[in-house]
Structure 1
């Protein structure tokens, strides 16, 4: 994983979007149930669940109110007739879909708009039962965000927004090959909301050669990345999502070639000959096209071509063909037979068992492409891309991925989810997306194969893909792993497994699977499907999912004993309101739910950080507080609508950047400073053309790096004793190293920076110490490359004690980066942490006091998938060298550390699934 970003506050916002991106959890926070009334212990279905951060309720059940007329009109009229109950403006709702889950049941799904711009995850549902004059509202709910006042016209030029989206890819090689598809404006919910431009950014992962797809939301008022996370799959279609996009995805799907229904045979991957439904063509040939169902099922052979060629089916692509009705052996070895038969089995499950006509509920064509590779290399993967299934060609230990019925069911269920709840693929909502796909994938397989729920293999997913090893060892997941929120939830930043969508899926999926083992399986399937189709909305979390399943149970007519069984299944997996407060941690919280554009700064017993935890809308104020004792955060930044962050503090004052529109309506970046004890906010520098970064403060000195957007030249600027900043001179031909995450360090009249120049055929990078009083370099440690060789990556110059520290990473970043140091008097270089260490921090920034240096270990995805051990953790070692020890034993991701005093460090911690600012006074050591 690379964390390199351009040295501009706009791009640093992209590179540091990890914590601010967790703003999704602001609108998907645990729902608050109404206080239980008498007898509530006997009725686990909540009558009312209040919305979090909104006046509109999350769920209202137990209704029986007349609603005659067409479904959409009746639902809208119902909401309009009860403004005090729902606090919804029906004029801000657009009908998204009407889902008929039974002959007399319809769910009207509305999309929320703000000033004509869709609100991310803003969906409200009204459930109707009966027909004609007898039609009535049974329940309603969802997420409707009140209090939105965000502007709806972008202030940042479209070209700049696109560039910022591309810059969100932190690896230069990925950026070079990237494209950004503009998906249009969207309002991000929470407080007053934020106007953002949504881009789907596609590239190739330089480390693996595999697909890299990110959903990126750029703040269209302030010019920073507000939210970024991985797409649901490598092939997620750009037009899959909400409103008109859903219709576009269906319309763009292959229509299936004409022909006459026929039957034939084909070999499968196990060498058996099986019957297949096919289409006879007018020329007498046959195609692997099933015309016997309302949804035409077509299967294509990718013939080992690269998966990228099938984002859209090539115009000349045809389904698998045969001169006669008995298809040749290649149809089996490619996986086409299995994919074709499995698609029919999945369709039949949804139609016959759940009453759903195809993935979109409208009988639209179902298409599979099998036998694709990753640039000619093995591709052990499968995916729903928003329009079709794509199956990889396996590898030395896995069959063609089309072989597994549960995998086919899983991927096709993602298509069902897309056309129903469309759960956002990040954090808890993304984990539920995966959990529901797992549940139905396994339910389809055990039903079709006649496997008993008591069979130990029933809960395994993908075990039939194994060529070697036991099914248990080969399975991708198992739904009976008994994981719980309190004991096992792994909070992760959105750049790691999209916030833990696979890491945490079996917590929710396990509760659903327990229902299938304790209830009648058919009842369980109908229950879970109804929750998906009628109750869930895109930003729902685990507790919302619990409430949705319980409410679906009541609507199905489950008795109280069965509903208590449902509640008990969720209780057993720790899915209940307030579970986060029961997660054990060994750190001390400083600020709960911190939604920060960058990490904190610390020094002198104080922290400083921009955070949306306060009562604000799209703005991000800067706060400060004590690191040594409980304190109420104090606002440092002025009352405006800008994003304040990228701060530094020496414990007495703070300096930081403010980005956005100032009071004159001009967009730009400003360097501000203020005493932590109060007083006026002073402006040191302001520009809409040049981008200051890496602000540092020490006593009366404030320094920052200024980069010219046109020339790319970087230089150090210094303000002494309140004077306007001046450029610090460098030798002719010298410049500061660009594209580093931390470019400057300031302490006790010394500056540390990274300097670069060329000499003949050589390029030199040098960690450098500059004396402000002497006006000259006092120590330098050159690293030279020649003859066009790729240079190592140097980053994070940090003054600590009597040394200058920095990280140094080899070209291509194998084994991560070393932490090196040199004495301030210019004497020899030492290595605090050698390259190749299992804890190597790659090019992440380090932070240090005179006593200790703290770093975040690298977080590369291991070959066997993410785990708690693989998620980035913080380590600390003496500045003089030694053995690194864990700062904290908390689960999940620990990120953005800031050293304070001694061994004390503050950081952003994702243990409980959000982003808390926490601290420890000393390392936890052994965990």
Structure 2
């Protein structure tokens, strides 16, 4: 886990805001040009809504109380904003040192909060002279999602718990139900939001579709339990301000602000500021004990006298306490902010935590306080003022823009924390901006070595979107929230180097507090900073300097089009949950957000025409699709009708024929739907045992007999053959056998019980495929080796050959295999973080070999980012989900790119 992180951020499902056809009226199709060379745009369109994201340059009367005046202004201009004031609830009004006020509203669809839906109105002047000068944010105009759950509260709770892999975690986890929320995914999706607190790991936030009961979004979090201890939020009664001394980690004795207890003794509580600052020593306790809540009876670090002993220094407590005061003063004196929450709330630090007794080389903000560990061979983490300020800035972000921790919004969260972390340090320490250590983060943690070698990140790394953006999905660093942070943070730091640092600090803070919203990306961040510059009265020359800094880091409209993609994009911003594509005969099928709402769509691989919706609008989740190029088959789950909880459906790809139900069940778990002409197959399981089912010519599905204790997975159906990998347990060994069944004879025609090469020991067969009259699978050694062999055999079991050996540098670590009559496409990925750190080159890539064998692997595409969920069409054509541009785009290539 990277240092300086807010959470582990491992997501089960990623992209929240996605659309096939943005609902943007022609008048708002592009940002209006700024007048007279002013780089501040007058209007920025919303990308997936009819509401503009930014309108500036206004001076329109809005007398009265700020919130009411702001709502009246929005209501008076419906054609401009396309916002329904009745859906807005005030989150708060902030006032800057210059008297400007910003009202922040949350969008609520039918009374249900919309994730990331916030709209802001900025006012200046007082009383009758008050005017609106700008407005904008994220308001979603296409929402039609239901606002009442169709699934019972208990079913939703069970579904959330089911996201935990470990049965013991599921049995003992605490469940916090945060209520319903609308995910703004096209027409929207009503979800119930849970935070799970398993005993053995981090808290996990889970969103469950309230109409189907399916988990649609999940991620690890450091969210605390809802009952924080009083000691963490308020000082004990009767404490009196005091001063004393304490050693810091370097051995120097420094003055500290303390609190004297009524009964005698002193503690690390600073009562001299508007926010009470308290520092606790965990004394080596596990960080999870403090992540969840403050342990009962915990008190700040204490001493009988005002002169604290050496443990205050070795634990990092003194540095944390002093640094918390410096950060508080920076935001108060330079930016006019009253504490991290803007309301003078307590500032709490916990130092000296471990990871089950081992060093915890990390620091994080857990949404209520800072928690610091100690790394081996390093000073305690709170020793670094920039680290402390970074974590505390996350508290400021949480109470302003509150960025969603994914992709570009998450990267901006880290970038702004990096910026203010370093800004606090150079200001408090008197470090010049041209000092080589000024842009380094965490450089003071190492007792030996150079600051450059010690630094965790550096804001002068000159990274740009076009050259360096790491195109990864949610599986890695929540879409690159740390890995891409210095692209945006570097632009902010360049602004601080070229403008007066005080002006730059106020500029970034104004953008954060008064313009940015949870789902904003890098370009929205650029526009927010420039608009804040206009508010602060920057000259046109200064504004052009700000714009030039963003230009230098490639943060400008349309940067994704300049990163050198060699694939053809079919769909942009595809929701990744349950969205793996299927392909055949020049057609693709997958779950997506389209002109007719979210559902199962089909389209042409040549990109012509408009995608056609196949699934009915019945409130269920339609996905897990297969196609033979003429028809599609898929699985529908959920809905208010308990008789149709699981249903296998088919329809022609033209979208003009009937949608037919093949099988439905309320008791069995259906998976692996496959179709070939008039034949359809799937597995249905109960008690964990999956049995293949076959429907011929539109007839009722028939369960195929399996030996007792055997189960089937990786179903394939093609050319009159049905295949599966049969699984059973023999003692401690899991046996996996590729198996073929003839539809014509109704019998098993081939089994491969000895699929491992002679002398290699047991192995696991996965990723079954049929193509070109051959059966293919991936053979993984059962000795924890990470690379597998791609095998091929004739349908009768003869002629087993290796198409790609596990010794190949490109040998895959996992399936599936995407096969056509000519080629086999597979994905190669690193098992763990490369020694030199993550790069685009280390992300998953697609490779292809000839089905007949004898050819070296070739890269399918030179797209530099992650490549996922491949499906093969005819010949060498492949379609997949590509994350190169920072989104999950459905793309296609006709033939391999070869070497890259």
Say if 1:764 and 1:783, in contact at 8 Å, map to a contact too. Answer: no
| Cα distance in 2 between the residues matched to 1:32 and 1:421 | 28
Shift of 1:716: 0.4
Distance 1:602 1:582 in 2: 28
- CA distance 1:758–1:555, change in 2 (3 Å): closer
SS of the aligned residue for 1:661 comes to: coil
- Tell me, in whole angstroms, the C-alpha distance in 2 between the residues paired with 1:792 and 1:302: 47
Find 2:668's aligned residue among 682, 690, 696: 690
For residues 510-554 of structure 1, what are the alpha-carbon distances to aligned partners after superposition, in whole Å with 9 as ceiling and x for unaligned? 111111011100000000000001111111111111111111111
- Name the counterpart of 1:369: 350
Q: 1:295 to 1:761 in 2, by over 3 A?
A: closer
Cα distance in 2 for partners of 1:813, 1:468 equals: 38
- Indicate if the aligned counterparts of 1:96 and 1:109 stay in contact, CA closer than 8 A: yes
Alignment-derived partner of residue 541 in structure 1: 521
Q: Which of 736, 758, 761 is equivalent to 2:712?
A: 736
Match among 746, 750, 769 for residue 721 of structure 2:
750
Written as runs of structure 1 = structure 2, the 5 A alignment for 1:706-785 is 706-708=684-686, 711-736=687-712, 743-758=714-729, 763-782=734-753
1:503-582 map, 5 Å: 503-582=483-562
Tell me, which stretches of 5 or more residues in structure 2 are unaligned? 2-9
Measured at CA, do residues 32 and 466 of structure 1 come closer, stay the same or move farther in structure 2, by a change above 3 Å? farther
Q: Retained in 2: the 8 A contact 1:16–1:598?
A: no
CA distance in 1, matches of 2:130, 2:754: 77
Aligned to 2:769: 798
> With structure 2 as the length reference, what TM-score do the two structures score?
0.91
Kindly indicate whether the alpha-carbon contact (under 8 Å) linking 2:270 and 2:277 is maintained by their aligned counterparts in 1. yes
Match of 2:653 in 1: 676
Checking the alignment, whether the CA contact within 8 Å between 2:599 and 2:615 is kept in structure 1 is: no
* 892-901 or 348-357: bigger deviation: 892-901
CA contact (8 A) 2:118 2:517 kept: yes
Q: Residue 869 of structure 1 aligns to a residue in which SS?
A: helix
Contact 2:602 2:653 in 1 (8 A): no
Deviates more, 1:843-852 or 1:275-284: 843-852
| Match runs of 1:198-277 below 5 Å | 198-202=193-197, 212-231=202-221, 235-237=222-224, 253-258=232-237, 259-277=239-257
Q: Kindly tell me: are residues 224 and 370 of structure 1, through their superposed partners in 2, closer, same or farther at Cα, counting changes over 3 Å? A: same
CA distance in 2, matches of 1:195, 1:689: 25
How many angstroms apart in 1 are the aligned matches of 2:380 and 2:799?
56
Where 1:533 maps in the other structure, the secondary structure is helix
Q: Is the 8 A contact 2:459 2:486 kept in 1?
A: yes
SS at 1:751 equivalent: strand
Closer, same or farther in 2 for the Cα pair 1:552/1:655, shift >3 Å?
same
2:875 alignment partner in structure 1: 902
Give me the TM-score of the superposition, normalised by structure 1: 0.88
State the alpha-carbon separation in 1 of the partners of residues 739 and 382 from structure 2: 56
* Contact kept in structure 1, 2:642 and 2:666, CA below 8 Å: no
Q: Which residue of 1 aligns with 2:839?
A: 867
Among 612, 617, 620, the alignment partner of 2:599 is 620
Does the 8 A contact of 2:623 with 2:635 survive in 1?
Answer: yes
- 1:650 pairs with 2:628: yes
Higher relative contact order (CA 8 A, sep 6+): 1
Report SS of the residue matched to 1:611.
strand
Tell me the residue number matched to 2:146: 151
Deviates more, 1:37-46 or 1:535-544: 37-46
Instruction: Note if contact 2:33-2:42 (Cα within 8 Å) is conserved in structure 1.
Output: no
Residue 7 of structure 2 corresponds to which residue in structure 1?
none
Secondary structure of 1:779's match? Answer: strand
Give the direction of change, closer, same or farther, for the CA distance of 1:165–1:468 in structure 2 (3 Å limit). Answer: farther
Rounded to whole Å, the distance in 1 between the matches of 2:309 and 2:541 is 54
Cα-to-partner distance string for 1:460-486 (whole Å, 9 max, x where unaligned): 111112245432233211111222222
User: Over aligned residue pairs, what C-alpha RMSD do you find?
Assistant: 3.2
CA shift, 1:653, in A, is 2.6
| Corresponding residue pairs, total | 882
Question: Conserved in 1, the CA contact under 8 Å of 2:818 and 2:825?
Answer: yes
CA gap 1:132/1:759 in 2 versus in 1, 3 angstroms: closer
Structure 2 residue 385 is matched with structure 1 residue 405: yes
Q: Distance in 2 between matches of 1:654 and 1:193?
A: 25
Separation (CA, whole Å) in 2 of partners of 1:492 and 1:655:
30
1:69 equivalent among 36, 43, 64? 64
- The Cα shift of 1:182 comes to 2.2
In 1, Cα distance between equivalents of 2:25 and 2:839: 24
Determine the C-alpha separation between the residues in 2 that align with 1:214 and 1:767.
37
Tell me if the contact between 1:279 and 1:288 (Cα under 8 Å) persists in the aligned partners. yes
Among 665, 677, 680, the residue aligned to 1:699: 677
Measured in 1, the distance between the counterparts of 2:624 and 2:206 equals 20
Please give the alpha-carbon distance, in whole angstroms, between the structure 1 residues aligned to 2:473 and 2:705: 40
In the alignment, is the contact (CA less than 8 A) between 2:599 and 2:613 conserved in 1?
no
The reply on whether 1:635 has 2:613 as its aligned counterpart is yes
> In the TM superposition, what is the alpha-carbon distance from 1:718 to its structure 2 partner?
0.7
Q: Distance in 1 between matches of 2:558 and 2:185?
A: 20
Do the aligned partners of 1:29 and 1:541 also contact (CA within 8 Å) in 2?
A: no
Contact 1:27 1:539 in 2 (8 A): no
Query: Per-residue deviation at 1:781?
Result: 3.0
1: CA distance between counterparts of 2:296 and 2:186?
Answer: 47
588-597 or 27-36: bigger deviation: 27-36
Measured in 2, the distance between the counterparts of 1:649 and 1:682 equals 15
Does the Cα contact within 8 Å between 2:228 and 2:293 map onto a contact in 1?
no
